[in-house]
Structure 1
């Protein structure tokens, strides 16, 4: 599963009977992330995490995308979970087998009524690995 140096973004729209709630959720995985050894070997650990996430979401309607770099290199394998009109989350310190945790987080997010990923039920890797929570633009208030 090699990629060229451009790391083209890939999308996986996976359909299931979970309704439309999951269609507004996107998991973005940093495909250029290296593992703890720092190896340049391909497939990179981030590419393996993206594939593991796709496999974990095989029966769901969650968009799985890749990006060349999330700029979170000090926290190794990184991913983000976004939902239309809600907060966005960036996670680090993941492993190449954290795909099921990302899918669990995406499902919790999809059913959240307040636009946040609930703490209860969130996998430990998404509790410990939280790097940032970013508000939706329409929530920002300018002070003049």
Structure 2
């Protein structure tokens, strides 16, 4: 059985464009919206909440990871306007062999949002 790739969403994030914190936090709103999509569709990745990705100045933050794959941290993900693009990116990541989604194949709204690229453990 192959382990699915994982989309981790920081649920403690506040959007970098916000004037203050919200209740629930922007990251939690993003997670909840993505969870609704995951419940409606059979997607090739697992969704996990993360307490903090330590990228507070560029919230909302998400991380993509998978066995034997490069990992990525993305920031400035808008929980309202980027949900479909985030889902598309996570699908492309899950479908990739090494976790590398070519820049031109990434949704345009997320192309410039990469914070870090992390080498695979394997």
TM range (shorter): 0.7 to 0.9
SS at match of 1:27: strand
- Matches of 1:55 and 1:37, distance apart in 2: 24
CA RMSD, aligned part only?
1.9
Does the 8 Å CA contact 1:108/1:117 hold for their aligned counterparts?
yes
Does the 8 Å CA contact 1:109/1:118 hold for their aligned counterparts?
no
Report which structure shows greater RCO (CA 8 Å, sep ≥6).
Answer: 2
In the alignment, does 2:42 pair up with 1:64? no
In the alignment, does 2:90 pair up with 1:124? no
SS at match of 1:120: helix
Spell out structure 1 runs of 4+ moving beyond 3 A: none
For the pair shown, the structure with the greater C-alpha radius of gyration is 1
The residue aligned with 1:33 is 13
Trace 1:1-144 onto structure 2 (pairs within 5 A): 24-35=4-15, 36-57=17-38, 58-61=40-43, 62-97=45-80, 98-138=82-122
Q: CA deviation at 1:119?
A: 2.1
TM-score of the superposition, structure 1-length normalised? 0.72
Q: CA deviation at 1:38?
A: 4.5
Where does the alignment leave 5 or more consecutive residues of structure 2 unmatched?
none
Where does the alignment leave 5 or more consecutive residues of structure 1 unmatched?
1-19, 139-144
Distance 1:63-1:38 versus aligned 2 partners, 3 A rule: farther
SS at match of 1:117: coil
